Structure 1
Amino acid sequence: MRIETYPEGFLILEISGQIVGFINCGCAYNVEMSDEEFKELIGHDPNAPHVVIMSVVVDPEHQGKGYSKALLAEFEKRMRGRGKAAIHLMCKEHHVQFYEKFGYDYQQPSDSDHGGMIWHEMSMTL
């Protein structure tokens, strides 16, 4: 298992040379989770103190093997190493407990209706 940062803003998990998962993100000085422009990385500044996770993805064939845990742990470690202040994310309701297990705190239901779905905001202070 190998986890690499490529390109900036992507953490990629490879198993036997095959990409099986990734986390993509952006950084901001002020986090407004319902900001649709930021989802297109408008306003992204790699030097900003707040990291916003856009996606955590593991190929369905490789789910249930602890790869999300490995990705999230490595992501947190790297963000701490870069001196970031916090990590923010939005998730569907059924993922709230999943992220709580990794140390994220539930903040609130989001004003975002991205994709016509209901989202929940979570964050982790580093």
Structure 2
Amino acid sequence: MTKIRHASLNDLEKLSEVESLCFPPAEAAGRQSIERRLKVFPNHFWLLFECDETGNERELISFINGLVTSRKDLTDEMYDNPLLHEEKGDWQMIFGVDTNPAFQHRGFASKVMEQVISDAKDQGRKGIVLTCKKKLRTFYEKFGFVSEGVSDSTHGGVVWLQMRLIF
């Protein structure tokens, strides 16, 4: 059994651990960065847990996080400056889609993404923006994201595509 919920500061260690398993050091958000985000926009972290039969959380499997802004494009400064978050902004940005490698390719990231999309629609956003590596483009296209080409982002020294889902 699984459940999805929003984050709190109590989730910091688990989030940091999964983030470090999912991304190389140059790309991963550090513990302090995650903590700063949690202090400003914990309700824009979606965490999927494996639970026992009574609903008690066993393990963090997957999570998605990102701030909300009226800016149209995802910029590198957004990753480390949570004060750019605008709760009533037009666009839900996604900084990371993290799934513990032991649980990958089993639909967990898709389940969390479906929740993020549903919540962003319910909140009246114009859509969702993320960046991804070319090899993940088709994964995001399954949800309706469209590639806008190479992003201006140089985060982690990697070439990123900017993807947008418009509601």
Q: Give the TM-score band, short-chain normalised.
A: over 0.9
**1:10 equivalenced with 2:41 (yes/no):** no
| TM-score calculated relative to the size of structure 1 | 0.94
Q: 1:31, CA displacement in angstroms?
A: 2.5
**1:113 equivalenced with 2:162 (yes/no):** no
Between Structure 1 and Structure 2, the one with more strand by share is 1
| Alignment: residue pair count | 125
One-letter amino acid of the structure 1 residue matched with residue 6 of structure 2: T
Residues 73 and 129 in structure 2, CA contact (< 8 A), matched pair in contact too: no
SS across alignment from 1:95: helix
Runs of 4+ in 1 over 6 A off after TM superposition: none
Alignment of 1:33-44 (within 5 A): 33=74, 35-40=75-80, 41-44=82-85
Alignment of 1:1-126 (within 5 A): 1-6=2-7, 7-16=42-51, 17=57, 18-33=59-74, 35-40=75-80, 41-126=82-167
Structure 2 Cα separation of the partners of residues 84 and 109 of structure 1? 23
Cα offsets for 1:30-75 (capped at 9, x unmatched) = 1332x22211224111110111000000100011111011011111
Structure 1 Cα separation of the partners of residues 76 and 100 of structure 2? 26
Structure 2 Cα separation of the partners of residues 31 and 38 of structure 1? 12
Q: Find the structure with the greater CA-based Rg.
A: 2
SS across alignment from 1:8: helix
Q: Percent identity?
A: 26
| TM-score calculated relative to the size of structure 2 | 0.72
Could you list the runs of 5+ residues in structure 1 that have no partner in the other structure?
none
SS across alignment from 2:67: strand
